[in-house]
């Protein structure tokens, strides 16, 4: 069964190609040409995935991504970019994207990446714990609310995802490779370490997440 997919690209030929390809795969596709139209389309059609070009005049893809996440939109976002520098990839992931694809790309890779981010975005099994508690740390998975030592802590979506992974594996080492695959779906240098540092800072207790040198991280909420 197909999904509702929003395609955003200011290049008419790329936009038409993506729309035709995805529609032929059985998806319901809406294609728009700029960031402003993208924000309006998300409100109108509630897409289940967004394919979003980064380099657009006016409101670019990163700005659109940030605004969608700020509005609480959780649909997976696949960024299209002509640049493959590490800083560019990190900027996209930090903006809230789930994955990126470098232009020019093969259509089969586009399909594969959409399938991958779709799998990561599926609802959790009904028997999965929705409130995780380890020591002084509590995460309400469904509400995305965190309390540490009786104090509410505001986290971004990706920070919550990483904290959830650590909580579900409390006392065990979570490797960088596992975190990258489960949360970002892409190998971006230092992104896990940067997010762990952000969690430590927001929790105001560096000892909560312990580094295992050369391997990964262990959560010990005390």
Look at residue 126 and tell me if it is in a domain: no
- State whether 92 and 65 are in the same domain: yes
- State whether 16 and 112 are in the same domain: yes
d(CA 115, CA 57): 29
- State whether 99 and 161 are in the same domain: no
Residues 30-88: tens digit of each pLDDT:
999 999 999 999 988 889 899 999 999 999 999 999 999 888 787 889 999 888 777 77
Question: Structurally, how many domains does the chain consist of?
Answer: 2
- State whether 116 and 10 are in the same domain: yes
Q: Which carries the bigger pLDDT value, residue 97 or residue 9?
A: 9
Q: Which residues contact 85 (CB under 8 A, 6 or more apart)?
A: none
Last residue of a domain, one of 120, 147, 182: 120
Residues 106-144: tens digit of each pLDDT:
999 999 888 887 776 554 544 456 889 998 899 998 888
Residues 151-172: tens digit of each pLDDT:
999 888 788 889 999 999 998 9
pLDDT, mean over the chain: 87
Tokens of 218: 């262990």
Asked whether residue 174 carries a pLDDT value surpassing 90, the answer given is yes
- Determine the average pLDDT of the residues in 193-215: 90
CATH number of the domain at 193, please: 1.10.10.10
Q: Which residues contact 46 (CB under 8 A, 6 or more apart)?
A: 4, 75
Residues 17-40: tens digit of each pLDDT:
999 999 999 999 999 999 999 999
What integer pLDDT is reported at residue 222 of this predicted model? 64
- State whether 109 and 137 are in the same domain: no
- State whether 104 and 33 are in the same domain: yes
- Residue span of the structural domain in which 200 resides: 131-219
Look at residue 125 and tell me if it is in a domain: no
- State whether 10 and 116 are in the same domain: yes
């Amino acid at each position: 069964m197909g999904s509702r997919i929003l395609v955003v690209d200011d290049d008419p030929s790329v936009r038409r190609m993506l729309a035709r390809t995805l529609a032929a795969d059985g998806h319901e596709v809406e294609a728009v040409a700029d960031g402003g139209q993208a924000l309006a389309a998300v409100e109108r059609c509630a897409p289940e995935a967004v394919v979003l070009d980064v380099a657009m005049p006016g409101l670019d893809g990163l700005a659109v991504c940030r605004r969608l996440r700020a509005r609480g939109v959780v649909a997976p976002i696949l960024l299209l970019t002509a640049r493959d520098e590490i800083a560019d990839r990190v900027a996209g992931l930090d903006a809230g994207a789930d994955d990126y694809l470098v232009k020019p790309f093969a259509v089969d890779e586009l399909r594969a990446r959409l399938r991958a981010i779709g799998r990561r975005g599926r609802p959790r099994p009904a028997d999965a714990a929705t409130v995780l508690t380890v020591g002084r740390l509590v995460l309400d998975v469904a509400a995305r609310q965190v309390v540490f030592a009786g104090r509410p802590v505001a986290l971004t979506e990706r920070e919550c995802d990483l904290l959830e992974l650590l909580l579900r594996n409390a006392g065990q080492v979570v490797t960088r490779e596992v975190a990258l695959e489960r949360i970002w779906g892409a190998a971006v240098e230092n992104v896990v370490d940067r997010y762990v540092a952000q969690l430590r800072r927001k929790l105001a207790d560096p000892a909560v997440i312990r580094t295992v040198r050369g391997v990964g991280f262990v959560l010990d909420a005390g």
